[in-house]
Amino acid sequence: TNGTDRELRAPICCILGHVDAGKTKLLDCIRRSNVQGGEAGGITQQIGATYLPVENIRKRTSLKAEATIKVPGLLVIDTPGHQSFSNMRLRGSSLCDIAVVAVDITRGLEKQTIESLDLLKHRNVRFIVALNKVDRLYGWKTCPNAPIAKALKNQSDDVQKEFKWRVTEVVTQLKGSGFNSALYYENKKVKEVVNIVPTSSVSGEGIPDLLLLLVRWVPEIMMERLTYVNTVECTVLEVNEDKDFGTTIDVVLINGALRRGDRIVVCTKQGPVTTNIRYLLTPYPMKELKVKGVYKQHEELKAAQGIKIAVRGLQHAIAGTALIVVKPGNDLERAEAAAVQE
C-alpha cells in the first residue's frame, strides 16, 4: 500500500539519559508544566507517561496549516537517569518505538548516557540525540521557543564557535559508542547517521525541531511498525493505591484497544491473576500519568496510550510484565500461560 489509507497509532517515545541532563524539564517545556519542580531533590524516581495530542504539538512547531501529520499524537515515556534505576530505563526502552537521548551540551556523554546508548544498540532501537542546555553556552542570547537554525543565527561568533566545538566533541564521543551522528539539518544519511537536535528545556530553542522529527520523520521511517492493529499489546509500568479507585495499575497500551469490563490476566508475585477492568482512566492530555490529578473515565481506549486501570486483586502485579486480554470463549489457561511467559 502507499500508506495513505493506513491508520497509524501514536509513536511511543522514551526519553533516556544521564541524571540531570534535562529529560523531565524537556517534557515540562513541551507540556508547559512543572513536574520537575515537584520532584524530591529534583530527581526522577518513577517512569512516567504523557500523551501529547497532535493539535498541541502543531502549535509548538513552525509547520504550515496544510502540512499533514499522519499520527494522532505522541506518547512520551520519561525515565530516571539516576544509576540505581536501570530497570526503568530497560522497561522504557523495551516498549518504545523511538528514543530521545538527552545529553547536556556542557558535559557531553556521561555514564548513564553510555549505558542508555548500549541499551538502545542492544535492542536495536532508533534514537535522536537532544543536545540540551544550549542556553548555557557562555553569552547565549535567548530566543524563546525558536527553531534552532533561527536561534543560532542570532548568536555571536564566539557562541557559534563554542557551539561548533562542543557538537564536534559529542559527535566524537558518540563515535566511541559506535554511532555515527550529525546535526539533523546537516545529516544527509538519516538512515545510518543519528540525528542530533540542539535544544534548551528552559527557553525552548530547538523544541519545534525535535517535535517535528518525532511526528513527521519517525512515522516516515517506521510506517509499518506504527500501523494500528487490533491485537492488544500492553505493558504494566507501576502499581498504585488510589484513594478513590483502590488498586490501580499504570500501563502503556502499545497496540490494540482496552474496554471497561475486559477480562485481563496480569502477572503478580503470587502467579497470574485474572480480573476485570473496573475503570479505564487517563489523565488529561499533556498531563503526566504518574502525577496524582484528575482522571478522565473511558469506555474504550485505543493505542497508543498511557492508562490507569482500576482493578481488584492486583496489589502485587509485577511492573514490566504484559497485560493480556481474555476474550469470551478464549482459553483462560492459555492466556495465563502467555502472561507468565512474557
Residues binding ligand GTP (CB under 6 A): 17, 19-25, 36, 42-44, 80-82, 102, 132-133, 135-136, 200-202
Q: What is the DSSP string of 142-182?
A: P-TT--HHHHHHTS-HHHHHHHHHHHHHHHHHHHHTT--EE
Which is closer to ligand GTP, CB of 44 or CB of 305?
Answer: 44
Which is closer to ligand GTP, CB of 9 or CB of 25?
Answer: 25
Given the rule CB under 5 A, which of 43-51, 99-107, 232-240, 296-304 is the region that contacts Mg ion? 43-51
What does the alpha-carbon distance between residue 160 and residue 197 come to, in Å, rounded to a whole number?
15
Give the C-alpha distances (Å, rounded to integers) separating 121 from 45, 93, 108, 155, 255: 24, 10, 19, 35, 23
The CB-of-138 to ligand GTP minimum distance in angstroms stands at 12
Question: What residue 136 binds from ligand GTP, Na ion, Mg ion, none (CB within 5 to 8 A, per partner kind)?
Answer: ligand GTP
Residues in 88-117 that interact with Na ion by CB under 5 A? none
Amino acid 103 reads V
Which is closer to ligand GTP, CB of 73 or CB of 81?
Answer: 81
Pairing status of strand 295-298 against strand 233-242: unpaired
- Asked if 78 is part of the footprint of Na ion (rule: CB under 5 A), the reply reads no
**Element spanning 120, H or E:** helix 111-123
Which is closer to ligand GTP, CB of 47 or CB of 317?
Answer: 47
Residues in 31-60 that interact with Na ion by CB under 5 A? 42-43
Helix (H, G, I), strand (E, B) or coil at 201: coil
**Element spanning 15, H or E:** strand 12-17
Which is closer to ligand GTP, CB of 98 or CB of 258?
Answer: 98
Question: What residue 282 binds from Na ion, Mg ion, ligand GTP, none (CB within 5 to 8 A, per partner kind)?
Answer: none
Which is closer to ligand GTP, CB of 46 or CB of 321?
Answer: 46
The residue within the footprint of Na ion, chosen from 9, 17, 20, 277 (CB under 5 A), is 20
The CB-of-99 to Na ion minimum distance in angstroms stands at 18
The CB-of-300 to ligand GTP minimum distance in angstroms stands at 33
Torsional sign, CA 292, 297, 300, 304: negative
Environment class of residue 195 by beta-carbon count within 10 Å: exposed (0-12), middle (13-18) or buried (19+)?
A: buried
- Helix pair 86-95, 111-123: axis angle to 10 deg: 40
The residue within the footprint of Mg ion, chosen from 11, 14, 15, 24 (CB under 5 A), is 24
Q: What is the DSSP string of 231-299?
A: S-EEEEEEEEEETTTEEEEEEEEEESEEETT-EEEEEETTEEEEEE--EEEEEPTTSBTTS---EEEES
- Asked if 336 is part of the footprint of Na ion (rule: CB under 5 A), the reply reads no
The residue within the footprint of Mg ion, chosen from 9, 23, 91, 290 (CB under 5 A), is 23
Which is closer to ligand GTP, CB of 79 or CB of 173?
Answer: 79
Beta bridge partners of 102: 17, 130
Among candidate residues 196, 149, 207, the one with its CA nearest the CA of residue 29: 207
Which is closer to ligand GTP, CB of 154 or CB of 315?
Answer: 154
- Asked if 44 is part of the footprint of Mg ion (rule: CB under 5 A), the reply reads yes
Q: Which residues of the chain form contacts with Na ion (CB under 5 A)?
A: 20, 42-43
Q: Which residues of the chain form contacts with Mg ion (CB under 5 A)?
A: 23-24, 44
